[in-house]
A and B are shown apart, each in its own frame.
Chain A
């Protein structure tokens, strides 16, 4: 049966007729957020779902002038990039070592680490970081997020098991040392899983709220999510302003989604198969 005929069967048309409107309902909150960024307070109250009458960019101008969005954006990029690099490095190094030496104990310990909920270690970690003067610093956040290397380890080690050992053997015969093998051979070989895990962990770090809200108190060190949370207090009466801020904060994630969705889904599935 041809694709065109499959799509125009009564059943398929009925499915389209149900699923597309339903998807619109699911997506409605996003529509609501976006249209109201172009409206004044009065317009939003009068007709929350109507299209804006004019392309009014005042809200955007006010948000950018009143809220240090650029600063928080830079903070978030810094923390995310540093944390992801660190956890991929730590995770892949550990995976490399375990694969080469086939040690069991490490895996057992890391399973325990993986199962302990973050809430349990939160208070001791807060105390530990405050003694090290790292509370309310971006570096403190990076250190906390490096705990994500445990998750990276499991995905990377699973992937490494599927690689052929001959390449490594050949490199060894050619006189390559462990560091060279790791850097020149293992890392390029595991690139696909590094991307998958990296994308997945980026979503976690970028979107995380719990860690910044507990560990960050200064305005100039806020991440985007924390800043939005704090700004709600200021904007309680000015809805369009808050919604505009939300859109500004959501844009990077939407762009990320559009370009990375294949990897996001791949990470979702890989993360689940690991089990």
Chain B
């Protein structure tokens, strides 16, 4: 099995903008009456996408923002404007705060851990060794099945009873009693993070690997001739050239982390207590199950702003780092 044999051709192609918009707009074709008719027809190709945009993005977004300032409950026709009360509630309601807290913790922890593991992994997987393709496939594989199913499976493995798979393994090998993996707040949080790292590290390593393979061997050759040590080669060649990959990987990890829902809900159902509650879970619980539209919308809007702010901040930091490293 080979995961990456070469740098995919279309990727390289996407980055180079060649003969871009010449398709229809070259001078010869802009003349004549048929062009105007065709131009209209070509405009019609956009209609389905505009329908999707308006129905699935624009209207719901505007509704969410509007509801966040009202006490709308989904049934009554008169929704009263309540100003910022919903927003105040978000920051006082313990379940909302818990969701916010754990989501941020999960995002930060998985981003740091996965980056710290995936880069060395990618560098190693780039070397020639026996069994490399097998190893690449195994690391990558946890990213393939549904995270929800993996969460359920891990729920059985980490079952806090003495008969749980990991506990019975620990009992027979190390001889320690049952560890309350999912029934202790801190351990449950750590378990969710650990499983999150397990599912995504290989995926991000393959992402880094794709970028690593685009670094010409000559760079390393020249550095070696100039007497650069292995660490220096990593620090002054690999790391700066991996910065674009890091930007992408962090972006995916942070936005994915903030949106996390499947894993905690299947592994711990948000428990014990509210210890592994997530923002998404709170939005769904308030908005869909309890019909507290205003409250849920306020949280959703805060969430959107937070995602936007983090993405923006992250892009700025990455730019800075790119500048400093290269």
Contact = CB atoms under 8 A, between A and B. Distances in A.
Contacts of A32: 157, 165
B318 to A, nearest CB: 11
B163 interface: yes
A188 interface: no
Interface in B1-43: 1-4, 7-8, 10-11, 13-26, 28-29, 38-39, 41-43
Contacts of B22: 165
Contacts of A117: 255, 258-259, 303-304, 307
Contact of A98 (B46, B48, B132): B46
Q: Name the prevailing secondary structure of the A interface residues.
A: helix
A253 interface: yes
Given A15-B127, A119-B300, A257-B141, A179 B41 contact: yes
B52 interface: yes
Interface stretch (B60-68, B79-87, B216-224, B235-243): B60-68
B277 to A, nearest CB: 14
A7 B134 contact: no
Nearest to A1: B128
B169 interface: yes
Contacts of A72: none
Contact of B19 (A49, A115, A164): A164
Contacts, number: 315
A150 interface: yes
Contacts of B11: 266, 269-270, 273
Contacts of B105: none
B166 to A, nearest CB: 9
B144 interface: yes
Interface stretch (A54-62, A63-71, A204-212): A204-212
A129 B293 CA distance: 15
Q: Which of A22, A48, A158, A182 has the largest number of chain B CB atoms within 10 A? A: A48
B42 A100 contact: yes
Contacts of B106: none
A240 B290 CA distance: 35
Tier of interface size on chain B = 35 or more
Q: Which 5 residue pairs of A and B lie closest in terms of their CB atoms, listed nearest first?
A: A207-B146, A124-B60, A121-B60, A94-B49, A97-B45
Given A15-B127, A99-B21, A120-B300, 14 more contacts: A19-B135, A23-B135, A45-B163, A113-B53, A122-B288, A123-B283, A143-B56, A169-B26, A196-B10, A213-B265, A249-B146, A250-B149, A268-B206, A270-B10
Interface of A: 3, 6-7, 11-13, 15-16, 19-20, 22-24, 26-27, 29-30, 32-33, 45, 48-49, 89-91, 93-94, 96-102, 106, 109-110, 112-113, 115-128, 143-144, 146-147, 149-150, 153, 155, 158-159, 161-162, 164-165, 168-169, 172, 177-179, 182, 192-193, 196, 203, 206-210, 213-214, 225, 228-229, 232, 239, 242-243, 246, 249-250, 253-254, 256-258, 261-262, 264-266, 268-270, 272-275
